[in-house]
Structure 1
Amino acid sequence: MAKLMINLLSETFVICRLSPSSPLPSWAFDGPFVSITKTDDELSIITIDDRRLPKDIQCERHWKCFKLQGPFPFDMTGILASVLNPLGKADVGILAVSTFDTDYVLVKENNLQIALDVLKQNGHSVHVIS
């Protein structure tokens, strides 16, 4: 398994679900990490957990975000597995997002310390970004 450099972003994130026909809201674009995915079923937005979000939006709050330090070549294997398998064995639920250069793994804030411990025990180097 790959041993990775991982940065823990300091912000807390929220995952929102909107109708697939919703326009992209301006509040979605704040912060160091935003992910927007549209399917036939939904428009999902991951952004900073801002209490000023509209009240009528379905949201899951209190997520922390690990950035796996890339870039990683597309033919490199085992990157996410080296993070997700140990977290799964520790019963830490995740949400993974991949970009062109790297991967992000989000965990609920109440599982953050367990996730930090597990990642370090599995040889990963984790740094907190402030």
Structure 2
Amino acid sequence: MNTLFCLLALAVIAQSAVLVDKQDKSAAARNNINIGGIYPGDRLLSRSYVYKPAVANTIQFENFVYREYRGDTRTRISAIYVTQQGYYKQCSSTWIRSGGLGYPDVTISFQSLRGYGYYYMIDIWGR
């Protein structure tokens, strides 16, 4: 009886592990930022990439800073798209630390889980 119970418990655990793995492959498991909108008259102010390879037992952190340097202080950000690139299981976080929509600058923070890296494409639109 104990052997049958153990086999049944292992089957349930194995099935749940497969279901979790299937969920990680979806686009919803990615940590992207999509705020604002692109409208007629907007232009791509910046397209940049941030990349940190995985390092064993290390949490990696980086701030990406965009400032409008063209001398036109009237330029304002209307959309920010931060899209995870590459392998789906990066396990990283991203958030806007300061600035953003309606400002001429933005600071975006990136942080990996211990032992993982990250790779993002950053598009900043404005007028």
Q: Return the TM-score normalized by structure 1.
A: 0.30
More strand by percentage: 2
Larger Rg: 2
